[in-house]
Amino acid sequence: MNTISNPERNFDGLDARRDQRGDDSYDDDGFAIDLERYFTEAKMLWLWLVSIIILCVLLGLAATLLATPQFRSSARIEVSQLAANVTALDPLENQGQVSELQYLNTQYELLESRFMASRVLEAGNLARDPAFLEAFELNEEEAPTTAALEELLLEQLTIEPITQSSLLDVVFTSSSATVSTEVADLWAQEFVAANYEKRFGTNIEAREYLRDQIDELRETLSQSEQELVDYANSNEILVLEASSSAEGSNTATQTLLAADLNAINAALARATTDRIDAEAAVRAGNIANSTADNRVVTQLALAISELSVLEETFGPDYPAVRQKQAEVDSLRNSRQSEADAALASARLRESDLARQLNQIKGRFLAQQNQGIQYGILNREVETNRTLYEALLQRLRELEASGAGQNNIKLIDRAKIPNSPYSPSLIQNLAIGLLAGLVLAVGLVYTRVALSQAIRTSQDATSKLGLPVLGGIPMVQIKDLTSTLVERSSETSEAYRSVRTNLVFLTPQGAPKVLLLTSTVPSEGKSVSSVALATSFSQLGKRTLLIDADLRNSKLEGTLDLDLSNNGGLAALLTNPEASIGDEVVPMDTLGFDYIPIGRRPPNPADLLASPRLAGLVDSARSTYDQIIIDCAPLLSLADAVETARAADGVVYVVEANRVKARVIENSIERLKRSGTAVHGVLLTKLDERSADYGYGYGYGYGYGSSSDDEGGKRPASA
């Protein structure tokens, strides 16, 4: 069956999604169907597309046969990056850090410069070379200007770098194989020669420049060294040792006065330590560092031991005990005297060293101010010496290398080509084929892009913002009644699908009163009304079909009836006393009741705008399960808008590939502004140009067109 958009979508949601994604945006499935549309369009235009491709291929063949053969010859050179700086010192010459890519690009531009063209033109005397002039169809008597010849050479020259290398090919193209070879070879040789002259033509001047700079620096270095020595002598600065700084220059870091200061400071630290040790010994009552003190300690311990024994034996008043006590006291006094003497000596030494340190410190602070100027003079000497040695080394290198080597070399000379480079038959045919394919694709794309008609369900959804209730194919129908009654027919199946989608519009089922309208006449509205009424009746619903097209009704012709003499809807609208039952015509074969229009009134819009129509429809609601109203088209008429007031909603009928989407959209907006609910779109007359056609109607059914209505045959959606 045909692919149908979900009828339960919310219209506000569709409008919001349409604004967000754009008129031409689809989901994945829509995109696939859109590709199918392009394919369908290509099938319709296949003759044009094949003609375009064949024409482009023939043009490529003609271009090949009519073109003058061109010969290409190339010479290969190597370009190696080499710094051309003389001194490599920024103060004398700034050396640009040029990358290899920048250097190679510079050489490419030089190869294609007017300078090289002028040089080649002059070296080969090409302005008077008969072979060169003949190759470019130039007259020697009326030779062009030098500027014109240079421009001609540059137009025929091509520089082709070899990927991932420093090699490049100098390629020249002309109608003569010999001329192409000679010019390519001459161009490469002249470029090598020009580079050599540029790099080494000023070598002698560079050496003279370096000698002048060296002489000036030698004098400057001698003068700065003399100033440094004079300053050191006048200020009695004696440098004992020197150290190298982070920059590599030698700087005076140790003088004689600084060495004395360090020595006295170290001696003072030791004297302070000795004095602290002596004080601690005095407080502790011993001197651990003295040999004599150790002897006294031994004697004192022996005397104390003997005193203890005598006291225990004879008591404290015994003469021998008193004598031993006197000996112990003498030994203790002797030991204390020695400790006091050692402490006094330590304090005296510390005091003398502190006084000497203060004297030397004052002299050192005075000399520090002089050391600043000394350092400045010393750095100036080192800087001048570094510059002098660098320039001297560079001069030696230049004198040893002489003129040097050229960084651009000729690798392969040009060879005479055996066959022309162009025109290439295969290449021109491929270009013609590609151009034809591009034009063909462009034609198909343009046709689809500029098409403003509704062709598929995706068009209706994206351009109109409405769901598609169904699609009706265009098939040949001999008898509409028998076709609709036959439930297995293609047309009956299609409208049954539409009926199913209408049933799912609301939880209560299909809206009870449905109005069918279209933008213009003959879009299949009348046939759709009859088919939907038949389909609802087949579902077991009591169905009423009202013909409300009071201007140009097609229902009677569709049903093969002649009811013009009946009162019909016109009589019901003009006669308040008339009853619907009086004008109903039973359609027993199709299974529904039908109210024709009767006689065409002169004021159809006024009749449809009267409250009488809504009253008639309301009275029919109690009798019928489903009411379908066939109304006049919307364009330039108010009938459909007035009639829609009596309906629960509108099914908008759109013929595929006919009316522009903007016109349909404007008509639908008229309905929406009146407060009428538009439930969806019914696409009719789908043919092989519509992508939807192949998804449900391409199997087992014959195709037809609107022009096939012959011999009683009627398209299903005519």
Cis peptide, bond prior to residue 423, ω within 30 of zero? yes
HSE-CB of 385 using CA atoms within 13 angstroms: 12
Q: Where are the beta strands (DSSP E) in 597-706?
A: 626-630, 649-655, 678-686
Closest CA relative to residue 623, chosen from 541, 553, 558, 693: 541
- Mode of pairing for the β-strands spanning 239-244 and 250-255: antiparallel
CA-only gyration radius of the chain, Å:
58
State the pLDDT confidence band at 187, using cuts at 50, 70 and 90.
very high
Answer for the pair 592, 545: CB distance below 8 angstroms, yes or no.
Answer: yes
- CA distance linking residue 68 with residue 63, whole number of Å: 10
H helix intervals, 478-592 = 480-485, 490-503, 525-538, 555-558, 568-574, 580-583
Closest CA relative to residue 524, chosen from 693, 360, 682: 682
Name the token pair of 54: 């064949």
Answer for the pair 259, 365: CB distance below 8 angstroms, yes or no.
Answer: no
Tens digit of each residue's pLDDT (9 = 90 or more) over 469-486? 888 887 777 778 888 888
Buried b (16+ CB within 10 A) or exposed e, 604-635: bbebbbeebbeebbeebeeebbbbbbbbbbbb
Average pLDDT, the chain: 76
State the pLDDT confidence band at 171, using cuts at 50, 70 and 90.
very high
Residue 438 has pLDDT above 90, yes or no: yes
H/E element, 664: helix 661-673
| DSSP helix/strand/coil, 592 | strand
Name the token pair of 390: 């660098």
Name the token pair of 469: 């209730």
Tens digit of each residue's pLDDT (9 = 90 or more) over 316-351? 777 777 776 776 777 666 666 666 667 777 777 777
Residue 717 has pLDDT above 50, yes or no: no
- CA distance linking residue 508 with residue 561, whole number of Å: 34
Closest CA relative to residue 239, chosen from 260, 222, 258: 258
Tens digit of each residue's pLDDT (9 = 90 or more) over 82-113? 654 444 444 434 444 457 778 888 888 999 99
Name residues whose C-beta falls within 8 Å of residue 363's C-beta, 6 or more positions apart in sequence: 257
Answer for the pair 71, 175: CB distance below 8 angstroms, yes or no.
Answer: yes
